[in-house]
Chain A
Amino acid sequence: EDQVTQSPEALRLQEGESSSLNCSYTVSGLRGLFWYRQDPGKGPEFLFTLYSAGEEKEKERLKATLTKKESFLHITAPKPEDSATYLCAVQARAAAGNKLTFGGGTRVLVKP
């Protein structure tokens, strides 16, 4: 069974204080690993897809990396508007369709 574990559960940062979020996964053949951002009361917003170990993607202050067992989301010099819950999900090659298995998320609060 595919499993995704995210750590830490919550993270409090000062504005400008860089940090990393971890996503550990076990999956029967990875088709893709996805990062989403979710604001309270809203649906998840797509950030990145990573397909193979060694791959990196960047968007503004966010950078996602992937190894064979985990992914990291690095937040560089965060601003208060980066406060959100960050969700990691995997898609298995063996699964029919686009089913995503999600981790529990990391709640990030950036204080000015």
Chain B
Amino acid sequence: KAGVTQTPRYLIKTRGQQVTLSCSPISGHRSVSWYQQTPGQGLQFLFEYFSETQRNKGNFPGRFSGRQFSNSRSEMNVSTLELGDSALYLCASSFRETQYFGPGTRLLVL
């Protein structure tokens, strides 16, 4: 079975721009979660989608948003980028409780 895929793998943006990241889950997985990983804060939960509905949300500002499509693929969007948004953004999919992670999208905000 193919694993979780994320596109793009690398992105460079400037402050004030917006960005959209994409995630394709493992076939048959209906839950998709997003995490932000930084050296200072570690891995932090952003939000989770299940059957196109947001099921849980972490403590991030409203600039961070996401959605899920009927084929379980998910996108997350960050608007009005700040320098502190530079991070590795990880997507994880799950069938039951165990989450399987993709390779991540490395975002650099200049």
Which A residues contact B (CB, under 8 angstroms)? 31-32, 34, 36, 41-46, 49, 87, 89, 91, 95-105
Find B94's partner among A43, A87, A98 (CB 8 Å cutoff): A98
Number of A-B contacts defined by CB within 8 Å:
63
Q: Does B56 contact A (CB under 8 A)?
A: yes
Q: Are B50 and A102 in contact (CB under 8 A)?
A: no
Number of interface residues of B (CB under 8 A): 25
Give residues in B with beta carbon < 8 Å to A: 4, 31, 33, 35, 42-45, 48, 50, 55-56, 58, 90, 92, 94, 97-104, 106
Q: Is the CB of A97 within 8 A of B42?
A: no
Whether B48 pairs with A97 at a CB distance below 8 angstroms is yes
CB of A46 within 8 A of CB of B55, answer no
